[in-house]
Structure 1
């Protein structure tokens, strides 16, 4: 029996590495032929010890990406939600496969609920009452503009599905939290930390006090790293078992969330962790100045992302049997360990 050829982008990252670890622990792992793209021979060698075919190369090399994608039954795109060049290249490879073989390969792509912030970036001054549901594809299709963050890539993928040369499934997590712990992290292959929370923590450490955009009055969904990667496998298994029953293309959006959190509350927990260590006099977050937003987040407009609203409900994801348990309070309770890790990183 031939094996299922799986190609994964982002294997050395936080989410991609966690997904790959799940695939390597899958009950049917012996039936998988997994290939990962890495940028160094050192990490390639480490991955090969896990039975993964590691190919050294760059996702910026369009011909390279196209060639590898053509050979995959299933592609996990977990590297970059906004890279049009990479997306165009792997779509070309998957189209080549369909043209030559008649196969309809599977694409599981990572996006994010940042796509929902386009009309709800209040700069931390107000909570939006607009809630998006992943089981309402008409609303998503009609009311999220192509200019929204991530949307240009998402639309390219949905159009490819419409053309019929692949089946696409787009996963859109909110803020993913938790320090990843798995064999690939232990081996020095993949990253154990997320992005949104560590950036906020590093800004607080640098200024000596927790900060918020505006008044911190904005909501985002949160989801634990283990529960989000668990969904990847639930979706993967459902597709393999009965693809006709799993929504794809315009019906293939899957939010990752288990409730909302308030940005102010998150920063308050950062403040508590700083006070506990004698690094701040007060746990009350203060407003980032325009200068600080540029300094700590790269640009003022980009910093305002930490004061945006992104409200999502994952009815479609849950319809596959996914049942996340960890809440915003669990997220807050994880902050102390993240602060400790950030302090250690600053000393290294």
Structure 2
């Protein structure tokens, strides 16, 4: 008798977070009972996924009809692509509504972003609201105009309607080089966004930089431990269908916190060690720098403060610290330099 499989539709499979999450699921103890479908643009990458036993559909997230169809066939959707893509979110929800009409309420695990709790500190202070993922009333005070919030609200509204169960994972500053089968096969991006963007700016300007005085605080999480949070959430849902969802279904991914200054200073120290700069001390980004490297935005000067109380309560156990994050900067910088120049020195 053939085994009944759980059908997953995962978006963002070639990305830093999405590829790492998929790799973790493919190594899950019950992986033989999972069937994953991913949506990719590159036919060559699609072939690699197929070799790994993953159904790969070539297409775009902007193809609403395709996204809706794939979601309608899924028991579980895990979205880890563009968390601001309202069109893709609506198409996914429409597909899940159709799936739910068959009598089983599907699961939607969505990836939001740390921008949902950004302020506008511009690097001047760290005094900011600390959001707790176990406090649904506090989460609901986040303004609907906040970054990423429009998509989050669409998804929790669908949960309130009852045709899905939604779980929103909010990664903080994700760090570390991703590893695993998808990285080895060349289909997955192994780099985060935040530290590399600061590294690339520092290499170009010859000195580490920061927004304002670098006094703002972000929380952080190591990439593989973040992927473990997705596994923990899914396993908890299976073990206990009453696991917090909807307004009670926000899960922050955080295991440490840092000042922007500390990250920039570590970048500066690495620059000096690699003979790319004469000074380890970061300097303030000018408006011209912000325009050149960050599209004019001072978002790196914001505070993004939270507690992963609910995430830990369901069994997530991250162990990596801010010290580990800081220690990862020089090795990743060396990889980035080698990719760009063919040499780490």
TM-score of the alignment, normalized to the shorter chain, above 0.5:
yes
Q: Is the 8 A contact 1:46 1:187 kept in 2?
A: yes
Count residues in correspondence. 340
8 A Cα contact 1:131 1:311, kept in partner: yes
Give me the whole-angstrom Cα distance separating, in 2, the residues matched to 1:346 and 1:264: 26
Is the counterpart of residue 59 in structure 1 residue 56 in structure 2?
no
**Distance in 2, Cα, partners of 1:241 & 1:17:** 25
CA distance in 1, matches of 2:169, 2:205: 35
1:96 CA displacement: 1.3
**Distance (whole Å) between structure 1 residues aligned to residue 314 and residue 176 of structure 2:** 24
Q: Distance in 1 between matches of 2:207 and 2:277?
A: 5
Residue in 1 that maps onto 2:134? 135
Are the counterparts in 2 of residues 4 and 33 from structure 1 also a CA contact under 8 Å?
Answer: yes
Return the match for 2:248 from 246, 251, 260: 251
* 1:109-258 paired onto structure 2 within 5 Å: 109-117=110-118, 120-141=119-140, 143-244=141-242, 246-258=243-255
Is 1:285 paired with 2:289? no
CA RMSD of aligned residues (A): 0.9
1:294 lines up with 2:291 in the alignment: yes
Secondary structure (helix, strand or coil) at the match of 1:260 reads strand
Deviations 1:280-331 (A, max 9, x none): 0100000010011010112x2x2x1110001100000000111111111110
Contact (CA 8 Å) 1:113, 1:312: kept in 2 or not?
no
Deviations 1:163-221 (A, max 9, x none): 00000000001000000010110001111000011111100000000000011110000
Shift of 1:345: 2.7
Aligned to 1:260: 257
Contact 1:209 1:280 survives alignment (8 Å): yes
Shift of 1:341: 1.6
* Offset of residue 121 of structure 1: 1.6
Q: Contact (CA 8 Å) 2:83, 2:113: kept in 1 or not?
A: yes
Where has structure 1 moved over 6 Å in runs of 4 or more?
Answer: none
**Structure 1 residue 113, shift from structure 2 partner:** 2.2
CA contact (8 A) 2:84 2:148 kept: yes
Residue matched to 2:23: 21
Among residues 301, 304, 307, which one is paired with 1:310 in the alignment? Answer: 304
Unaligned runs of 5+ in 2: none
Q: CA separation in 2, counterparts of 1:315 and 1:104?
A: 26
Uncovered stretches (5+) of structure 1, i.e. residues with no partner: none
Aligned position for 2:328:
334
Deviation at 1:137, TM superposition (A): 0.5
- Residue 47 of structure 2 is aligned with which of 41, 45, 48? 45
CA distance in 1, matches of 2:299, 2:341: 28
Aligned partner of 1:106 in structure 2 is: 107
Q: Distance in 2 between matches of 1:306 and 1:93?
A: 36
For residues 20 and 129 of structure 1, the distance between their equivalents in structure 2, rounded to whole angstroms, comes to 34
Distance 1:121 1:263 in 2: 14
Could you list the per-position Cα deviations for residues 201-259 of structure 1 after superposition, in whole angstroms to 9, with x for gaps in the alignment?
Answer: 10000000000001111000000011110111011111112211x10000000001012
- TM-score by structure 2 length? 0.97
Q: What is the Cα deviation at residue 97 of structure 1? A: 1.4
